[in-house]
Amino acid sequence: MNLDKLFNPKNIAIIGASRDESSVGFGILKNLTEGCVFNCEYCKPFPGKIYPINPKADSILGVKCYENILNIEDSVDLAVIVVPARIVNRVVDDCINKKVKGIIIISAGFGEFGEEGNQMQEEIVAKLNKAKIPMIGPNCLGIIMPHHNMNASFAPTMPPSGNIAFISQSGALADSIIDWSVENRYGFSAIVSYGNKAMLDVYDFLEYFDKDKNTKVIALYIEGVKDGRKFIEIASKIKKPIIVLKAGRTDEGMKAISSHTGSLAGSYEIYKAAFKQSNVLVADTVEELFDNAKALANMPKLNGHVGIVTNGGGCGVLCADYCSEMGVPLAELKENTLKKLDKSGKMHPAYSRRNPLDIVGDALPERYDTAVDTLLSEDYIGGLIVIQTLQSITKPEEDAQVIIQANKKYPNKPILCVYMGGKFSKKSMKMLEEAGIPDYNDLKKVARAMKVLMS
């Protein structure tokens, strides 16, 4: 089944668009006409035609309403259904007659809601399979495609555009992450909440986003997969990195079984084995999922050893500790490199002369520039961690510029930053993130992110 029109439609019908500002049917329409309900800098209206379907209203939010999808003269690519569960079946019939190319069923009250709901769900899926129309949901948040200015969901706002496709079994988690991403500038190529996965499941999305040109990494939040062997088979074939956060790790699936082996085989252990066998990276927390995803989305793979440049000795030592604990190889600075640094005349007499390269607390942008450029110019150094602690003479924004330039000059070597600080480092952190250089507020996080660039 072709999913193109589902994720990149020329126009969208919202069946169940509502005038009631407290309803989901209103929220989705507003997200399409304005890009969001909670306004932020990344919100833009959907550029294609929008058709609200509501037999009782003439227009909502200034957009002409239709009584039925069949009354629309033009062909329709995507139908978003948000009517009560009991009439979804009938609405789906209309969509099939209209020959829409894709459907999102937001409405709840299906498979997650007892036997009757499940039966309705199965009926709908059977029809859509026959008509070859792909469907996401039911019982989901919808989808957001920031590059297309398409917010076909009832999420609060639009995240920044970027290269992470986030596929989530939980809608509410996606909601919070969107809010968070606006603050922390995690950029997305797609956010997909797939709800009851009645028709399209995680496998389908993996295959689709592997080919999507805006996506560089696929981040997954899953609670479980229906067919584990199929997951392994498909995930193994995906060329882009996949990183997963799995929920239900402790008591889920722990069945009382008679043999010794069984009692140890908690299902998360088995999932972890499956992820390992299909080259899927595992994140432990939501923050780790996106910390690592943004490194994978913005930086090339690490080849070789890592250099650390810091204006604070303690931070350099801690970072070296975390790197070696995690198996990130640290470079040993060669005599020739030190000669270059000495010759530059920019180093403090007491600079460390070893990796981590401590360029001392009074380091100004010029010294950062010399240190960063000298290390990156060496073939034996494959990537760099740049640490900046905020001291009275530090110039965080100018230092950020130095790093942004270095990233342009050495596109094949990953650079990750730790701007340690808060209020007075914020502007420079934003500069780095906007230039696609991942910044972390913690030394362990940066070491872990460098580690995933090794895989």
Partner 1 sequence: MKQIKFEDTLRLIKKYNLNFIDSKNIKSECDLNQLKFPIVMKVASEEIVHKSDVGGVIVGIKNEEEAKLIYTKLKKISNKIIVQKMAKGKEVIIGMKRDAQFGPVIMFGLGGIFVELMKDVSFRICPVDKKNALDMIKEIKSSKILKGIRGDKPVNINKLAEIIVGISELSMKEDIEEIDLNPVMVNEETAIIVDARFMK
Buried b (16+ CB within 10 A) or exposed e, 232-260: bebbeebebbbbbbbeeeeeeeeeeeeee
Question: Judged by CB, which is closer to partner 1: 41, or 251?
Answer: 251
Question: Judged by CB, which is closer to partner 1: 125, or 235?
Answer: 235
Find the shortest distance in angstroms from Cβ 255 to partner 1: 8
Nearest to 107, CA basis, from 134, 130, 79, 137: 137
Question: Judged by CB, which is closer to partner 1: 127, or 272?
Answer: 272
Q: Is 47 in the site for partner 1 (CB under 8 A)?
A: no
Stretch that binds partner 1, among 142-150, 220-228, 287-295, 371-379 (CB under 8 A): 220-228
Question: Judged by CB, which is closer to partner 1: 326, or 338?
Answer: 326
Find the shortest distance in angstroms from Cβ 261 to partner 1: 3
| Out of 22, 259, 285, 392, the residue judged to bind partner 1 by CB under 8 A | 259
Question: Judged by CB, which is closer to partner 1: 56, or 255?
Answer: 255
The count of other CB atoms within 10 Å of the CB of residue 270 is 12
Q: Is 272 in the site for partner 1 (CB under 8 A)?
A: yes
Find the shortest distance in angstroms from Cβ 286 to partner 1: 23
Q: Is 256 in the site for partner 1 (CB under 8 A)?
A: no
Nearest to 64, CA basis, from 48, 53, 80: 53
Sign of the alpha-carbon dihedral angle for 426, 431, 433, 434 = positive
| Out of 114, 262, 314, 422, the residue judged to bind partner 1 by CB under 8 A | 262
Residue 110: helix, strand or coil by DSSP?
coil
Q: Is 265 in the site for partner 1 (CB under 8 A)?
A: yes
Find the shortest distance in angstroms from Cβ 235 to partner 1: 12
User: Which value, to the nearest 10 degrees, does the dihedral of the CA atoms of residues 287, 292, 297, 302 take?
Assistant: 160
Question: Judged by CB, which is closer to partner 1: 131, or 232?
Answer: 232
Q: Is 242 in the site for partner 1 (CB under 8 A)?
A: no
Q: Quote the CA–CA distance of 320 and 124 in Å, as a whole number.
A: 56
Q: Is 421 in the site for partner 1 (CB under 8 A)?
A: no
Question: Judged by CB, which is closer to partner 1: 222, or 320?
Answer: 222
Distance of CA 447 to the CA centre of its chain: 20
Q: Quote the CA–CA distance of 365 and 353 in Å, as a whole number.
A: 19
Stretch that binds partner 1, among 146-154, 173-181, 268-276, 292-300 (CB under 8 A): 268-276
**Where in 371-414 does DSSP place strands (E)?**
381-389
Give how many residues touch partner 1 by CB under 8 A.
23
Q: Is the Cβ–Cβ distance between 13 and 71 less than 8 Å?
A: no
| Out of 273, 324, 393, 409, the residue judged to bind partner 1 by CB under 8 A | 273
Q: Quote the CA–CA distance of 255 and 249 in Å, as a whole number.
A: 13
Q: Is 277 in the site for partner 1 (CB under 8 A)?
A: yes
Question: Judged by CB, which is closer to partner 1: 90, or 229?
Answer: 229
| Out of 47, 114, 228, 422, the residue judged to bind partner 1 by CB under 8 A | 228
Please give the C-alpha separations between residue 70 and each of 25, 54, 133, 307, in angstroms, as whole numbers: 19, 12, 16, 63
Residue 207, sorted as left (phi over 0), alpha (psi -120 to 50) or beta, turns out to be alpha
| Out of 48, 109, 156, 224, the residue judged to bind partner 1 by CB under 8 A | 224
The count of other CB atoms within 10 Å of the CB of residue 354 is 12
User: Which value, to the nearest 10 degrees, does the dihedral of the CA atoms of residues 188, 190, 191, 192 take?
Assistant: -160
Q: Is 270 in the site for partner 1 (CB under 8 A)?
A: yes
Find the shortest distance in angstroms from Cβ 173 to partner 1: 21
Q: Is 269 in the site for partner 1 (CB under 8 A)?
A: yes
**CA contacts within 13 A on the Cβ side of 306:** 32
Find the shortest distance in angstroms from Cβ 77 to partner 1: 34
Q: Quote the CA–CA distance of 114 and 110 in Å, as a whole number.
A: 7
Find the shortest distance in angstroms from Cβ 217 to partner 1: 24
| Out of 260, 349, 379, 392, the residue judged to bind partner 1 by CB under 8 A | 260
Stretch that binds partner 1, among 71-79, 153-161, 251-259, 351-359 (CB under 8 A): 251-259
Find the shortest distance in angstroms from Cβ 214 to partner 1: 31
The count of other CB atoms within 10 Å of the CB of residue 223 is 11
Stretch that binds partner 1, among 30-38, 151-159, 242-250, 263-271 (CB under 8 A): 263-271
Please give the C-alpha separations between residue 92 and each of 43, 104, 107, 200, 255, in angstroms, as whole numbers: 30, 10, 12, 16, 39
Q: Is 257 in the site for partner 1 (CB under 8 A)?
A: yes
The count of other CB atoms within 10 Å of the CB of residue 162 is 24
Find the shortest distance in angstroms from Cβ 172 to partner 1: 24
Q: CB-based contacts of 88: which residues, under 8 Å, 6+ apart?
A: 81, 105, 107, 110, 120, 124, 138
The residues of the shown chain that bind partner 1, judged by CB under 8 A, are 224-229, 232, 253, 257-262, 264-265, 267, 269-270, 272-274, 277
